[in-house]
Structure 1
């Protein structure tokens, strides 16, 4: 207690200023923890949202590619059926 009084007297007798300085020093570690925790949480959520948006985009592109492949497959099957009915190719050559 005596050292606090001496410290206060050395700072011009301003008790409020001394108390405020001690509070600020005590809050620095707590503030740092809060800021770092906030950064981690923000980073986690931002990254998660970005990944989710990218996943939706990639899923949409994949569906379009599947649709193109399915249309192409159906077109080829239709061409084969048409060729078989016209007698242009044998079934063994195409399906074998």
Structure 2
């Protein structure tokens, strides 16, 4: 099984909505039901991708903070800088996946 994807989830959600609408319009109850199911699966995949992205952002933020502090304490400015960059990356990733 592949990792959850916001893009795939959005596609499935939209296609599911379309199928449901068409199914309801033409009286094809099976198509409408499959559309509802595809839409729900797409929304679930979007939420799973956001959760995974937020968790990855948390890990980057924490590791970056640790590296920044260790770099500052040891006087290693390149480690401190790399830590700050990773921490900021994690913060952006968390914000994007709220």
TM-score, reference length from structure 1: 0.49
Q: Which has the higher contact order (CA 8 A, sep 6+)?
A: 2
When the two structures are superposed, what TM-score results if normalisation uses the length of structure 2?
0.48
